[in-house]
Amino acid sequence: MAIATLIAAGRLDDRLIDRALGSLREIDPTAAFAAWVDEGDAVDLRVAGDLKSIRWALQGLPETDVFVQPEENRFKRLLVADMDSTMVGQECIDELADFVGLKREIAEITERAMQGKLDFKSALRERVAMLSGLDEDSIKRCVAERVVPNPGAATLIRTMRVGGAYCMLVTGGFVSFADPIAKLLGFNSIRANRLIFDGRQLNGTVEDPIVDAQAKHDALVEMRGELGLKPEEVVAIGDGANDKLMIEEAGLGVAYRAKPALAEVADARLDYHGLDALLWAQGIRKRDWVSA
C-alpha cells in the first residue's frame, strides 16, 4: 500500500482531493482519503498499485506538489542535499564571477553543465580558471552579500535533526560557501570542492578529487552505510544533472525546481512550495516543525 501526499498550501479543498481520487481509482478502485497532514495544506491518500503509475495518474493537478511512497519508512533518517539552486537560491560560482566582471560568461557555462550538456569536471575547472587572482575577501563578501537560503531550508534541516535524522550537504560548489551555509542551516556535515590559493588569492585551480555526480552518489552510499540505513530510509534533493545519480540512489529522490535531465528521473518534484514541504511529505505536521 502506498501513500500519495498532495501539497497545495492554503488551497487544498474537497474538489482537488476528489479530482485526485477520481484519477487514482482508475488504478485502484479502493483508493481513499487517509488523513489530513495539515488541513487545507497537505493530505494523505491511500492507494494500492505501482508507484510510477500512481505518480502518472496524479500528474496535472494544478499547482500541487505530489509525493508517492510506501507507508513504511516514511520519515527519512538521512537527508542528502545539493547546495546551489537547491538549499540556496543562487549558483555561488556565478555570483563570485560578478566580482571579476565575468558573471554572464561563467553563468552560461554553469547552465549548460547543470543541463547535462557539458562534462561537469571540465566545466568546473574552466570556470575556476577564469576566477584566477580573486582575493579571499571577495569570497567572504560574496557569501555575506549574495547567497540567500531558499524558503524553508532551515526549517527542513532543523526539524529533521530534531527527529533524529542526519543531514549532509553535498555540492559541486566550494567549501568556502558550503561551510558557512551548512552552519547557518544546521547540517551535520558537508562534501564540497576546495579552491586553491596562492597566499590570499585564487590561483585558478581546484583541489582533486572533484565532487561531481559520482562523488555525490558515493557520499550518499557511504553515509548510508555508516548509519546502517536501508535505501528507503534516505531522501535526496537537488536541481541539476549532476544530482541525477544521488537522486536515483535515494529511497526518495526529489527534484527541486529542477532541470529536465533531473526531473525525469526523480521520484517527486517540488515545484510550487518551499523546502519545508518535504516535512509534509514525511507526515510531519506544521505544529511540529522547528522554525528557523
* Residue 65 falls in the annotated catalytic set: no
Choose the catalytic residue: 41, 44, 65, 84: 84
251-276 burial, b at 16+ Cβ within 10 Å, e below that, comes to bbbbbbebbebbbeebbbbbeebbbb
Spatial neighbors of 218 by CB under 8 A, at least 6 apart, are: none
The Cβ of residue 225 has, within 10 Å, a number of other Cβ atoms equal to 9
Query: What are the cell numbers at 292?
Result: 528557523
CA-to-CA separations, 99 to 92, 136, 193, 194, in angstroms, rounded: 12, 11, 20, 19
* Residue 38 falls in the annotated catalytic set: no
Choose the catalytic residue: 41, 44, 65, 82: 82
Which secondary structure element, helix H or strand E, spans residue 67, and what is its range? strand 65-70
Alpha helices in the chain (DSSP H): 14-24, 51-57, 92-97, 103-114, 120-130, 136-146, 153-162, 175-185, 213-227, 244-249, 260-263, 277-281
The Cβ of residue 249 has, within 10 Å, a number of other Cβ atoms equal to 18
Query: How many helices and strands in the chain, by DSSP H and E?
Result: 12, 12
Active-site residue list: 82, 84
